[in-house]
Every structure is written in C-alpha cells, then in structure tokens.
C-alpha cells in the first residue's frame, strides 16, 4: 500500500538507481514533516546529517567530517542508497575507483556520495511541489 502512495506522490524518486520504496518513503516523511526547514539544498543536507563540517585540528589538509545533528533515519536511507550504488551502479563504481586512486578514504568517498544523492533528491522534490503533498498519506 505504501508503494502505491509513493508511486502516486513522487514517482521520480523511484526511478533513480538505488532509491527503493522504503528510502523514498523516508525522504517524503521527513520532507513533509519539515517543509519550513527545507529552503535550499544545503538545508536538506543539514537536516539529513550530511552537511560537511571542517575537521578542527588544522593539520588535516582541508578534510571534512559529517555533521551528526539531524534526522538519523533519513541519513540511514541515503546511506543505503549510496551503498547500493557503490556495489551495482557502474558510474558510481568508476567514481569510487577514481577517488580511491586520488588517495581518498572510503569514509570520505561515502560522505561525498551522500552529498551527491541528497543534491539529486532535492532537485527531484523541490520545495514547491513538496508543500502541495504535505499530507501525502491522506491521498488514499
């Protein structure tokens, strides 16, 4: 039943590689609960615990870490999407190989990929259509 609702409200999410019904549902629930907080792509990244924060020591050479404040379930859903893409999506596999050759760690690569996915999700949802489906679960 949830799959049918998600297909009706946001079929564009389900068309993307690695985003299943459970991930799309989590994205829609969090977005519907917090429409006033999602004013930009960066705001959605911060809400999803994916906004990069510079590491503090000064000896890190421009490295970043993930901000741990935000919606952990949305972060877990985006993480699942990234892991699926890293295993089965050829462009992502090539990207990981290129970044590994540059000396990036797996954790840094996953952080960057999460940001790419959240950017893609933001552009698929956009705040205006999101407000129209604020109560998307009442469509039944």
Domain ranges for the chain: 16-56+64-135
Percentage with pLDDT > 70 across the chain = 80
In tens digits, the chain (140 residues) has pLDDT values of 888 988 988 899 999 999 999 999 999 988 887 777 788 888 888 888 887 777 766 665 666 666 667 788 999 999 999 999 999 999 999 999 999 999 999 998 998 999 999 999 999 987 444 445 545 444 44
Q: What is the pTM of this model?
A: 0.79
pLDDT digits (tens, 9 = 90+) for 28-61: 988 887 777 788 888 888 888 887 777 766 665 6
- The answer to whether residues 38 and 25 touch, using CB atoms and an 8 Å cutoff, is no
């Amino acid at each position: 039943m949830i799959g049918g609702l998600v297909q009706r409200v946001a079929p564009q999410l389900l068309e993307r590689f690695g985003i299943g019904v459970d991930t799309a549902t989590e994205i829609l629930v969090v977005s519907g609960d917090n429409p006033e907080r999602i004013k930009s792509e960066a705001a959605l990244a911060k809400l999803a615990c994916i906004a990069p924060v510079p590491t503090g020591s000064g000896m890190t050479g421009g490295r970043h870490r993930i901000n741990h404040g935000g919606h952990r379930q949305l972060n877990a859903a985006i993480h699942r999407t990234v892991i699926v893409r890293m295993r089965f999506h050829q462009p992502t596999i090539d990207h990981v190989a290129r970044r590994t050759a540059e000396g990036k760690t797996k954790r840094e690569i996953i952080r960057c990929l999460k940001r790419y996915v959240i950017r893609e999700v933001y552009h698929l949802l956009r705040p205006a259509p999101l407000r129209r489906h604020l109560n998307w679960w009442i469509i039944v």
